[in-house]
């Protein structure tokens, strides 16, 4: 009976010297380990708005809304903190060098209003010139151009967006090109309208 009691005493004295394992949290801020999986955050510089993260998310914590307003449109991507499980699949699937959405070290995510527990990122969308439907975010098209290089000159949607972005072409210049060729071919088109203009001359003013 003596030995166990002595052992308990030794442990008690040790605990007195070492102190508690817990940290004095509100007074001393907590810094997690470098590898800690905290809240995923969008990166304004890298995110191209491709929605790869939305597809792979196992908890459906990432969602998007496309808002069309006349000739301009924007895509808002939501990340809901309350449904997120911090697995990091979004970061692993991100096409922009895994930097478009990245897990941070942030762990202090308590909130009072659940409906406000989300963060957003906005991306400008490119619309089809004929039917007005959404093609892709502008940044995504520019990302494709960068990836495929000169091959992008086979597709007017790609090179026009690129040239407009660089300031090398504007609508007047493109209009002058159109006079010398089939006008419907040199347009920013969605996949459906592109197929139609390839097979028919339905959308052409000059008639091909």
Partner 1 sequence: MKKTIIPIGPYHPLQEEPEFFMLTVEGETVVDVDVQIGYNHRGIEKLSELKSFDQSTFVIERICGICSTSHPFAYTRAVEDIEGVEVPMRAKYIRTIIAEGERIHSHLLWLGLAGHFLGYNTVYMWVWKLREEILDVMEIISGNRNNYAMFKPGGVRRDINPEDIPLIMKKLDKIVPTLKMLFKAVRDDPVIHARTKGIGVLTKEASINFGALGPTSRASGVARDVRKDTVYGAYHEMDWDMIVTNNGDVFDKVVVRILEMFESVKIIKYCLLHLPDGEIDLKIKNIPPGEGIGTHEAPRGETFHYVRSDGSNSPVRHKVRAPTFMNLPTYKATIKGEKIADASIILAAIDPCYCCTERMSIRDTKGERLFNGKELIRLSQIKTQTLKQKLGVKETSLEKLVQGKP
**Cβ-proximal residues to 163 (8 Å cutoff; 6+ apart), any chain:** 169
Interaction of residue 17 with partner 1, rule CB under 8 A: no
Residue with tokens 């308990």: 8
Minimal distance in Å, beta carbon 146 to partner 1?
A: 24
Tokens at 126, concatenated: 């490119």
Interaction of residue 3 with partner 1, rule CB under 8 A: yes
Is the Cβ–Cβ distance between 91 and 101 less than 8 Å?
yes
Interaction of residue 21 with partner 1, rule CB under 8 A: yes
Minimal distance in Å, beta carbon 35 to partner 1?
A: 5
Considering the complex, state which of residue 60 and residue 147 has its C-beta at the smaller distance from partner 1: 60
Using alpha carbons only, give the angle 163, 164, 170 rounded to the nearest 5 degrees: 110
CA distances, 73 to each of 45, 79, 87, 94, 125 (Å): 20, 20, 31, 23, 5
Among residues 114, 116, 91, 115, the alpha carbon closest in space to that of 104 is found at: 91
Minimal distance in Å, beta carbon 41 to partner 1?
A: 15
Sheet holding 134-137, edge to edge: 62-69, 72-80, 118-127, 134-137
Interaction of residue 33 with partner 1, rule CB under 8 A: yes
Of 30-38, 124-132, 133-141, 161-169: span binding partner 1 (CB under 8 A): 30-38
**Binding to partner 1, residues 37-56 (CB under 8 A):** 37, 56
Q: Please return the burial class of 64, using the count of CB atoms within 10 Å of its CB with bins 0-12, 13-18 and 19+.
A: middle
Applying CB under 8 A, which of residues 13, 59, 67, 173 lies at the interface with partner 1?
59
Considering the complex, state which of residue 104 and residue 201 has its C-beta at the smaller distance from partner 1: 104
Considering the complex, state which of residue 33 and residue 112 has its C-beta at the smaller distance from partner 1: 33
Interaction of residue 106 with partner 1, rule CB under 8 A: no
Among residues 118, 106, 135, 121, the alpha carbon closest in space to that of 45 is found at: 121
Interaction of residue 7 with partner 1, rule CB under 8 A: yes
Minimal distance in Å, beta carbon 36 to partner 1?
A: 5
Binding site for partner 1 (CB under 8 A): 1, 3-4, 7-8, 11, 21, 32-33, 35-37, 56-59, 85-89, 92, 103
């Amino acid at each position: 009976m003596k030995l166990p009691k002595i052992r308990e005493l030794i442990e008690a004295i040790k605990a007195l010297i070492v102190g508690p394992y817990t940290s004095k949290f509100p007074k001393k801020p907590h810094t997690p380990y470098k590898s800690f999986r905290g809240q995923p955050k969008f990166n304004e510089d890298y995110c191209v708005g491709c929605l790869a993260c939305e597809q792979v998310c196992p908890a459906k914590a990432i969602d998007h809304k496309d808002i069309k307003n006349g000739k301009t449109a924007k895509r808002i991507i939501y990340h809901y903190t309350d449904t997120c499980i911090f697995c990091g699949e979004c970061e692993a699937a991100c096409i922009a060098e895994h930097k478009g959405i990245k897990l941070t070290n942030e762990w202090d995510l308590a909130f009072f209003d659940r409906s406000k527990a989300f963060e957003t990122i906005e991306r400008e969308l490119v619309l089809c010139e004929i039917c007005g439907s959404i093609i892709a975010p502008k940044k995504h098209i520019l990302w494709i151009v960068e990836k495929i290089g000169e091959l992008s000159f086979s597709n007017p949607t790609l090179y026009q967006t690129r040239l407009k972005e660089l300031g090398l072409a504007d609508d007047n210049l493109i209009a002058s090109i159109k006079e010398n060729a089939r006008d419907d071919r040199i347009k920013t088109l969605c996949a459906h309208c592109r197929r139609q203009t390839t097979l028919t001359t339905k959308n052409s003013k000059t008639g091909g």
